[in-house]
Structure 1
Amino acid sequence: MSSDTSDHLSTAPSGTPTRTPTRAANGPRTPSGSRTAARSRIAALDVVRGIALCGIMIVNLPPLFGLDAITDTGAVQSFYRIEQDFVQNRFFPIFSLLFGIGFGIMWNSAQARSPRPRLALLRRFLFLALLGVGHAFLQPGEALLPYALVAIVILLPSTWIPARALAATTSITGGVLLAVGVWFGGGQVIIPGLFLLGFAAGYADAIRRALRHPGWLALIGAASAAISATGFLLTDYITRQLHMWITAGLGITMALCLVVIILLLMLTPAEVVLRSIFAPLGRMALSNYIGATLLILGVKAVEPDLAQFDDHDGYLAGVLICVGIMIVQIVVSALWLRFVGQGPLERLWRLVTWGRAGARA
């Protein structure tokens, strides 16, 4: 969920980096030259995060309203089937991977921002856990608390891996853990693997490198799309639900395909539109994640029964509510960032992590 994924590198609009970091001998990488070099965000990550946030909202609304998955005739609700095949467990892996990427980018500059970087990051995750505990009272299936716990248990200890072996070790370990998580049906068990894979990608500056090689990105996207299509052709809905490892695996490949498509679009003129619409959402992901829950519950307090509004047991009305909330959050996020510069929870989170001096760095 982390949206503080800026680092010490500047990026051209096309995503091409203009500086190359150097690795410190016994610690995280820092940029060559001044330790206080200007920081910039990777816009593509903000866009991916903003789009993923929209998908997460669609997943979270039905359980908050208690929408039924089965119709009065005993059939599976058509909108529910669509959600299970194309939304559920498709955007959650993206968020988990982005969290790890954000941590990797942050670790590269952590020593320049704090004399005790691991303690600062521990404060960061404890604050996230506190938010998660409070958020769980509103949304029992929330992700902040599991993210914080896994980060403390998995990500922080990984920073003691020697610098020369860190990317390779976390990549291999993350891949194994992800495979195990998929085998056990996905859900929260895939978090450790995706966190470590993201950590390796963020630490190794893989996103900027990938944006320099759109051909390789296209091949990865085509391969993931082919695997996803094959999975759907060889199975039906019931099979995918009975064997959750199939739907978990398809969730990973479909999520990867979506991420690749977004990254490739960020190298085209569509980048202007994507950045203007979704980047503000992504930059305020934590505030918007919790804010969406509050807005959904506010709608529920006014009208708790969505089933009366459509012939799909409320699922269509729920999608329309999500679209309305997305529009509100897009507009509010853009205005907030224009006049304030950082989301309210993001600002507090950064202050708790780095203190006043580090937050200004």
Structure 2
Amino acid sequence: MTRIRELDTLRGFAACGITVVNTWQHTAGALERRVPTPADWIVENLLQGRFYPVFSFLFGVSFVLFLRSAARRTPRPWWPLLRRLGVLACLGLLHRFVSPGEVLLPYAIAGALVLLPASFLPRWLVLTAGVGGTLWAVLAEAGGIWLVPGLFLLGMAVIEYAPGPRALAPAFAVSAPLAVALTGAWVYLWAHPETFRFPYTVAVYPLAGLASAVAYCTGVLLLARRAPGVGAFLQPLGRMTLTAYLAGSLSAAALAPLLARDGTRLGALAAAAAVLAILAGFAHWWLARFRHGPLEWAWRCLTWGELVPARRSPDPAPPATAPRDLSGGPAARDLGN
């Protein structure tokens, strides 16, 4: 199945953001006394709550893509899908010993309880339920984990409707100023707690997070079109998101006691950047030799109950009579795959 490179770009971008936020949160948890710093303001108002909505949305997208792929292999694609979610739940249970706020277990549960039944519904109803569920989570629960089911359904609906690339620029043009306005409103409200008397004031924070997530994602995709290096850096991370997520989380937990000694909190950002650089380098190296990331390969094997080929086959040598281009390489090489 041909990979959708834009989705890999977004997954890689979300993995970067989650790694930064997780490192920050683990460091904050190790602090005996927390004195706010400018770095706190940046993370909490520009990064916190901006990336898990992206992961949730993309999980709904991946659900549909997996179901379509499984339907070509078996007449009952829901069984491998349930096994896939079961493996994810087991990973989440183990991960909870390191990071109690992890998302894999809730994702697996919500996938089985929300996405699987929704796969039998017409797409317009899935879209309606996604919009309604997201609005309910924002207005009634001030976001948080309650956003996950609605965003799952929105991702599921969007991939079914498959909006074209022309939608990126208008989406960015609308979401970017909205994100700035909502974030500014939240900063003001936080500085003036008396305004929280209005019952829906707390909805400003999750709305700011959602608007920022849309702006960040559309902005990254637009940037990747003009700067191919952006996609080249993010896509390998996006192809092994599970490995990157768990490795980043374990690194954050291990480094937290050391990073907590830095009163400026800048050490957490530097550590997150270093971890991401290592993960990106590893992803490039690994995927040049193997088809899937380490945990992604194990996940696939357990899903299908068989050993899936892992190592890439060497490129076949071109025939002696193959036509050659001006650079000396085979003329038919690398036609977009």
Question: What's 1:222 paired with?
Answer: 173
In percent, how many aligned pairs have the same letter?
Answer: 33
Distance in 2, Cα, partners of 1:157 & 1:359:
31
Q: Could you report, residue by residue, the CA deviation over 1:140-176 in whole angstroms, capped at 9, with x for unpaired residues?
A: 1100000000000000111222xxx2x2111110000
Offset of 1:109 from its aligned partner?
A: 2.7
Between Structure 1 and Structure 2, how many residues are aligned? 301
For residues 1-361 of structure 1, the aligned pairs below 5 Å read 39-65=1-27, 66-68=29-31, 71=34, 76-161=36-121, 165=122, 167-183=123-139, 184-204=141-161, 206=162, 209-211=163-165, 213=166, 216-239=167-190, 243-268=201-226, 270=227, 272-300=228-256, 304-309=257-262, 311-312=263-264, 315-356=265-306
Q: Is the 8 A contact 1:113 1:358 kept in 2?
A: no
Question: What's 2:326 paired with?
Answer: none
Q: Is the 8 A contact 1:124 1:352 kept in 2?
A: yes
Offset of 1:55 from its aligned partner?
A: 0.9
Q: CA RMSD in A?
A: 2.2
Q: Is the 8 A contact 1:70 1:77 kept in 2?
A: no
The alignment's TM-score, normalised by the length of structure 1, stands at: 0.78
Q: Could you report, residue by residue, the CA deviation over 1:273-322 in whole angstroms, capped at 9, with x for unpaired residues?
A: 0222111111010011111122223334xxx242444x42xx20011000
Q: Could you report, residue by residue, the CA deviation over 1:89-112 in whole angstroms, capped at 9, with x for unpaired residues?
A: 101100100111111222223211
Offset of 1:244 from its aligned partner?
A: 3.4
Q: Is the 8 A contact 1:182 1:248 kept in 2?
A: yes
SS in 2 for 1:266: helix
Q: Is the 8 A contact 1:61 1:318 kept in 2?
A: yes
Offset of 1:355 from its aligned partner?
A: 3.6
Tell me which amino acid in the other structure corresponds to 1:178: T
Tell me which amino acid in the other structure corresponds to 2:155: G
Bigger Rg, structure 1 or 2: 2
Distance in 1, Cα, partners of 2:186 & 2:295:
43
SS in 2 for 1:172: helix
Offset of 1:235 from its aligned partner?
A: 4.3
Distance in 2, Cα, partners of 1:247 & 1:318:
24
Offset of 1:81 from its aligned partner?
A: 2.0
SS in 1 for 2:291: coil
Distance in 2, Cα, partners of 1:345 & 1:293:
14
Q: Is the 8 A contact 1:69 1:80 kept in 2?
A: no
Q: Is the 8 A contact 2:183 2:205 kept in 1?
A: no
Distance in 2, Cα, partners of 1:228 & 1:70:
31
Unmatched runs of 5 consecutive residues or more in structure 2: 311-337
Question: What's 2:330 paired with?
Answer: none
Q: Is the 8 A contact 1:155 1:195 kept in 2?
A: yes
Distance 1:178 1:70, change over 3 A: farther
Stretch of structure 1 that moved more, 232-241 or 244-253 = 232-241
Tell me which amino acid in the other structure corresponds to 2:18: I
Q: Is the 8 A contact 1:91 1:255 kept in 2?
A: yes
Question: What's 1:28 paired with?
Answer: none
Distance in 2, Cα, partners of 1:150 & 1:353:
18
Distance 1:109 1:71, change over 3 A: closer
Tell me which amino acid in the other structure corresponds to 1:292: G
The alignment's TM-score, normalised by the length of structure 2, stands at: 0.83
Q: Could you report, residue by residue, the CA deviation over 1:20-41 in whole angstroms, capped at 9, with x for unpaired residues?
A: xxxxxxxxxxxxxxxxxxx211
Tell me which amino acid in the other structure corresponds to 1:318: A
Q: Is the 8 A contact 1:93 1:252 kept in 2?
A: yes
Distance in 1, Cα, partners of 2:33 & 2:251:
26
SS in 2 for 1:200: helix
SS in 2 for 1:124: helix
Distance in 2, Cα, partners of 1:324 & 1:358:
32
Distance 1:203 1:349, change over 3 A: farther
Q: Is the 8 A contact 1:71 1:77 kept in 2?
A: no
Q: Is the 8 A contact 1:113 1:354 kept in 2?
A: no
Distance in 2, Cα, partners of 1:308 & 1:125:
39
